Chains A and B, each alone.
Chain A
Amino acid sequence: MPEARQTVWTRKDLIGIEDLSREEIELILDTAPQFVAVSKRESGIKKVPLLQGRLVVNWFHEPSTRTRTSFELAAKRLSADTLGITVAASSSVKGETLHDTLANIEAMHSDVIVIRHGCAGAAHILAARHDSHIINAGDGRHEHPTQALLDAFTMREHVRQRRGDPEAGLDGINVAIIGDIEHSRVARSNIWALNKLGARVTLCGPATLIPAHVEKMGASVTSDLRAAIRDADVIYALRIQLERQQKGLFPSIREYIRLFRIDNDSLRAAPDHALVMHPGPINRDIELATEVADGPRSVILEQVSNGVAIRMAVMHLLVNFGGKKPTGTL
């Protein structure tokens, strides 16, 4: 009997892309299309009962609109109950540790904890000690795994459409990631994911914003934007993190715009079919010109739609197939 795939999901948590195998990444991507269809239902009920009666807690220690809304919607479309903890109004400002706060949330029988935190490793240390399924929604400069998964899914859908091959993967495609790599957990997760899926990654930005030894992760580096996007199937612009630019890592915003902005002029160096992506929020006309962000190559809003489906897939796999007990020793 021909069965599509035998990969079995066993993980309790989703901490980062670095830990995942190619097969696990593909299992998540292959689980998502049915959830795209749920959100698109024109008649009837836009939800399914896979997490009925489960409690999903959104615990965000950093500002977020897209990711937080996306996780909340994903949980609701799986019929889970959701709870958001606002850190500014919570006991962490009184000095309670992450472990203690989570132990208290778990005493109220949570099932899934979605955590964003400014410190790399926050999700990891919680996952190793607690029974809840932990999903990393961004930890410091380390990883943002669901972003990389929704990006890979969006790229794969377009490669499949363009080639007319519903089974096509990302093998051999060229992805140029432009901008502030140094501060970007999105870039890190994307480099891991794209490498595992067989894509070639080129990083481009001011030399001060490219981390040392990043080639060891399997990416090539250039500071010439036009060289970076010459063969690109995907141009991925990162947000210039203005809040982190006080250190003078590049001379001026004007110089960044001149050298690295994706606009109609710089896009002439890229192939016609190249997609433009951005994880949001956009600094309009700094890393991405408005004409491009709102133009025909941009799939930025598709990324957002796909994000809900990917997060539904992740929660479904973790809760309904994943392990139940912490395995770490931290």
Chain B
Amino acid sequence: MIRTGKLPQETVVVMDSHTMGQHIHRMAREIVEDNPDIGSLVILGILRRGRPLADRFARLIGEMTGQTPRVGSLATTLYRDDYRTGLGTAKQRGDTHFDFSIDGVTVLLVDDVLAAGRTIRAAMDEVMDYGRPRRIQLACLVDRGGRELPIQPEYFGWCVATRANEWVSVRLSEMDGEDVVLLERYNAEEGA
């Protein structure tokens, strides 16, 4: 769905600040259980809202294990597949930046919302151009369904099958001043 800039007909809070904190904490614990060697785990946040989430995971993992994984940013814009179909925009979301090698380590990709999976495909291609990680994992705060590629997250907070006229909006205190996930419903004719 492409939002038109109009206000939604209905907005439902599906995750408040407390619940979001619990989800992120639980996901961090799962990441730690799954990765006994935190020294060989690096976290790449997909811009824009994946980056603050990546920083939160790193901090929590540091508190749990005494070892804080390194964190970087992935833009993915140079690897998108929708330029040729005219869907891409020239909007800059910031640049890819990490100053560590990803050869032989586990790369944890972090994004706020997982839907079609095309951003994750682009992110994996970008990561592969920088080296050969031992494996790539995926953590998403919200999985809203609608996959167009065979991609599944290892770690997710909340899973919902959205309809065509529904939009999941993640707001994070670092960027938006509050921690909340909203499900926005638009008039059917505005959707798609």
Binding site for B on A (CB under 8 A): 3-5, 7-9, 27, 30-31, 33-34, 37-38, 41, 43-45, 47-50, 317, 320-321
Contacts and interface: CB of A to CB of B under 8 A. Distances in A.
Given A37-B95, A48-B79, A321 B129 contact: no
Contacts of B130: 41, 43-45
A322 to B, nearest CB: 10
A317 B90 CA distance: 8
Given A34-B78, A41-B130, A48-B79, A3 B95 contact: no
B119 interface: no
B47 to A, nearest CB: 11
Given A45-B129, A48-B129, A30 B79 contact: no
B90 A321 contact: yes
Nearest to A48: B78
A38 B95 CA distance: 10
A38 B78 contact: yes
Contacts of A44: 129-131
Contact of B96 (A4, A34, A47): A34
Nearest to A52: B84
Given A48-B129, A50-B78, A5 B95 contact: no
B125 A49 contact: yes
B75 A5 contact: no
9 contacts: A27-B90, A34-B95, A37-B95, A44-B131, A47-B129, A49-B78, A49-B125, A320-B83, A320-B84
B92 interface: yes
Residue with the highest number of chain A CB atoms closer than 10 Å, among B91, B97, B101, B131: B91
Given A43-B131, A50-B83, A37 B88 contact: no
Interface of B: 75, 77-79, 83-84, 88-92, 95-97, 101, 103, 125, 129-131
A109 B95 CA distance: 33
Contact of B92 (A4, A9, A47, A321): A4
Nearest to B3: A1
A34 B75 contact: yes
Contact of A43 (B79, B97, B101): B101
Given A48-B78, A49-B78, A49-B125, 13 more contacts: A4-B91, A8-B90, A27-B90, A31-B90, A31-B92, A34-B92, A34-B95, A37-B95, A37-B97, A38-B78, A49-B79, A320-B84, A320-B88
Contact of B90 (A9, A43, A45, A49): A9
Contacts of A5: 91-92
B103 A43 contact: yes
Which has the most chain A C-beta neighbours within 10 Å: B84, B91, B95, B129?
A: B129
Nearest to A320: B83
Nearest to A34: B95
A37 B129 contact: no
A7 B90 contact: yes
Contacts of B78: 34, 38, 48-50
B100 to A, nearest CB: 10
B120 to A, nearest CB: 16
Nearest to A44: B130
A51 B78 CA distance: 10
